[in-house]
Structure 1
Amino acid sequence: MDLGLKGAKVLITGSTKGIGRAIAETFAAEGANVGVCSRNLAEVESTTAALKANGIAAYGGAVDVSDAAALKAWVGDMAAKLGGIDVVVANVSALAIGQDDESWEKEFATDMMGTVRLVNAAMPYLEKSAAGAIVTISSVSGREVDFAAGPYGTFKAAIIHYTQGLANQLAGKGIRANSVSPGNTYFDGGVWNMIKDNNPELYKTALALNPTGRMGTPQEMANAVVFLASRAASFITGTNLVVDGALTRGVQL
């Protein structure tokens, strides 16, 4: 299937490792030009160098998405270098599950407002695109109550609501908006790798909940994101695609 992404201009936040890196690599493999960011400049530089091996244009910047001015400046810089924006993927998370004020504030600033501000900054460019698309990364914790109930689960649920609202509001402009809710995703250096090493009982319990007997991979999450952003999904908007290997039990209405 031709996803129709060759030459597309794509921005992905939090895109130097894990799911975000896999998303950037998959877009690049489809011939899209990409803009990436993370808080670590060295990781940004190594990621853009690797992405360019696909024969595409890749740019990046060191950005903390909770910094409104820095995020807006990065979007403008990437749009100038790429010659516009067709797709934005809001991927960053603070991964805060504590019940203290700081955890709530981090999740709001990073997950919620990082998503809202990315979309707002990119909107003038998306409106000029012939195939504008927004993909936000939520979580199964936004669908069901689990050990991450609290700030993480709350704002991941809010992101689904926000995205479906965007889909309705932007349909007349030809801009699609969808969310992807990954299940537990394992990769070296990721949160589940750390849990496996530091809290093996929690890891064992989480693994046992999935009927497949395993966790997902960043590539499996990236495949869903890139499909939803592509022309192959041209009539899909306002959906929340759960990619969890049947982990969640609730019926999504």
Structure 2
Amino acid sequence: MERVYGGSVPGSARSLEGRHYVITGGSRGLGATVVRSLLGEGARVSVCARREDGLDALNASVQQDGHPPLFTQALDVAEPTALEAFIDAAAAEHGGLHGAVACAGGASGRGLGAASADDWRRTWELNAGHAATLVSSAAPHLRAAGGGSIVVVSSISGWKPGPQAQYGSAKAAQIHMVASLARELGPDGIRVNAVSPGSMLIPGKRWDRMRREDPLAYQRFLDEFPARSLVAPEEVAEVVAFLLSERSRGISGANIPVDRAQNAPTPEGY
């Protein structure tokens, strides 16, 4: 029987106490889980996402749990000027910046014959483009702080082929990007790493709906996992928090899978 995860994964003490981090796509799903993980380690957090109501709901929820208010802004991360302004405003709000997480992502279009040039452009801008803007905008603030850590959330689709090609290639670009930028920014004390989640079981999302609506297909999908359990978002968030902290000071330019040894990234193969 599959183990279903919830709550937080045990971690170390409040190793991010007083530090400030920005997170894109942080209002729900993995992003919101990362926000809670960082707050749990004592960090101050700024979050952007597309929908203001989602940000408001997250802010209210974390304050109910006893955490300080988040600095939030609704924007499209694929718009470089808006993302740059958010990072500058967040740094000003909290008197500096110690790290950043590019968590927003997604895909447009379907297979090659059904995907338009705009689908490819949008997918690349949402993933590789937004991550590049995040790094370039955060870097001056991290230099001013004497260094810091950036985490780009990629995917196992970045090296395990699956549909659609525009998504996998954009995620592969993120993985190469962090390896290159880690070398470029290393002299400034800035580390850059990628985390590549496997298929995550998130309430209300694709795999949770499949589990409820098509249990036979879901059971077949579990064959892609040796332990027959999908990835929990808390497991990914703990790795992100680790990479942002000084516990990982020797790691830069790496791509760290959190996939439970998953084989194909989707039920469709390949």
**Same fold per superposition (TM over 0.5):** yes
Displacement after TM superposition at 1:246 (Å): 1.1
Of residues 130, 133, 152 in structure 2, which corresponds to 1:114?
Answer: 130
Matched, 1:240 2:252: no
**Residue equivalent to 1:228:** 243
Deviations 1:102-134 (A, max 9, x none): 321221111111111111111210111234101
How far off is 1:144 after superposition? 1.1
CA distance in 2, matches of 1:130, 1:188: 39
RMSD: 1.9
1:72 match: 84
Tell whether the 8 Å contact from 1:3 to 1:227 is kept in structure 2 after alignment.
no
Task: Label 1:195 to 1:158 Cα distance change in 2 as closer, same or farther (>3 A).
Answer: farther
Using the TM superposition, give the Cα deviation of residue 149 of structure 1 relative to its aligned residue in structure 2, in angstroms.
Answer: 4.1
- Aligned-partner residue type, residue 237 of structure 1: S
The aligned amino acid for 2:46 is: G
Aligned-partner Cα distance in 2 for 1:195–1:67: 33
2:222 is matched with: 207
1:41 is matched with 52
Distance in 1 (CA, whole Å) between partners of 2:152 and 2:140 is: 18
Kept after mapping to 2: 8 A contact 1:138/1:182: yes
**Structure 2 SS opposite 1:127:** helix
- Does 2:200 correspond to 1:191? no
1:9 aligns with 2:24: no
Q: 2:156 maps to what in 1?
A: 140
Greater shift in the superposed pair: 199-208 or 71-80? 199-208
- 151 and 176 in structure 1: CA distance in 2 versus 1, 3 angstrom threshold: same
Q: 1:172 to 1:3 in 2, by over 3 A?
A: farther
Matched residue type, 1:4: S
Question: For structure 2, which runs of at least 5 residues remain unmatched after alignment?
Answer: 1-11, 265-270
How does the TM-score come out when normalised to structure 2? 0.86
From the superposition, tell whether residues 37 and 191 of structure 1 become closer, same or farther in structure 2 (CA, over 3 Å).
farther
SS in 2 for 1:108: helix
Pair 1:49–1:239, CA change in 2 (3 A): same
Aligned pairs, number: 248
Q: Given the superposition, is the C-alpha separation of residues 116 and 199 from structure 1 closer, same or farther in structure 2, using an over 3 Å criterion?
A: farther
The CA deviation string for residues 209-234 of structure 1, in whole angstroms up to 9 with x for no partner, is 11110111110110111101111101
Asked whether the 8 Å contact 2:14–2:42 carries over to 1, the reply is no
Paired residue type of 2:183: N
In structure 2, what residue type is equivalent to 1:133?
S
Choose the corresponding residue for 2:181, options 149, 166, 188.
166
For normalisation by structure 1, the TM-score amounts to 0.91
SS in 2 for 1:180: strand
The one-letter code matched in structure 2 to 1:50 is S
Structure 2 letter corresponding to 1:231: E
Q: What secondary structure does 2:144 align onto?
A: coil
SS of the residue 2:160 aligns to: coil
Query: Contact 2:96–2:141 (CA<8 Å) still a contact in 1?
Result: yes
Unpaired segments of 5 or more residues in structure 1? Answer: none
Asked if structure 2 preserves the Cα contact closer than 8 Å seen for 1:29 and 1:54, the reply is no
What is the one-letter code of the residue matched to 1:106? R
